[in-house]
Amino acid sequence: MALLEALPVNVPVSFMQEQLCLTMATDGATLSAEIALESSAQMMESALALGFSWALEFDAGLASDADGRRLFLLQWLPGVEGWVTATAALEKLIDQLESCRLELADGRGKNQREKGLRPDHAAQPDPLRSRDEQRFRRALLR
């Protein structure tokens, strides 16, 4: 927990190899994570196609930076007062990033939209990612 307590709010931070930001408001906070640093037109098209289903499945939405080149997954967290109280949501959002990246990388959004199907989130987990998750969980327990 001490690791999370030391993270600043309202500015992007690098944590567990992810770019994250906890933006505080009077009644909660917005947690955001960068999905892609340099997004292509195809990736943005896929993201738009997948965005609604992601919102339903993950309780998180999509956003891009002002020039539309970077893509973010974000979630409103009512009542959150800092990184420590956002721990559960942070862990969940980091898990969701991998699924989002997999779908964007193989262009599933466009294919699913053309077929009128909901995206398949049954991709096999990456064993290296699982190790990162284990390190994340250990870091949270310190």
pLDDT at 111 over 90: no
> The sheet that has 13-15: what strands, in order across it?
13-15, 18-25, 28-36, 71-78, 61-64
Q: Measure Cα distances from 32 to 17, 122, 131 in Å.
A: 14, 23, 22
What is the number of alpha carbons within 13 Å of residue 80 lying toward its C-beta?
A: 22
Is the pLDDT at 13 greater than 80? The verdict is yes
The answer to whether the predicted template modeling score (pTM) of the entire model surpasses 0.75 is: no
* CATH-assigned architecture of domain 2-141: 2-Layer Sandwich (3.30)
**Tens-digit pLDDT profile for residues 17-67:** 899 999 999 999 999 999 876 666 777 777 777 777 777 777 788 888 888
Q: What sign does the dihedral 12-59-65-39 (CA atoms) show?
A: positive
Residues in a beta bridge with 75: 31
Residues 6+ apart with CB under 8 A from 45: 109, 110
Residue 117, pLDDT above cutoff 60 = no
Q: Which of 33, 109, 108 is nearest to 71 (CA)?
A: 33
Predicted local distance difference test score (pLDDT) of residue 11: 96
Q: What percent of the chain has pLDDT over 70?
A: 70
Say if residue 115's pLDDT is above 50.
Answer: no
Residues 6+ apart with CB under 8 A from 108: 46, 50, 119, 120
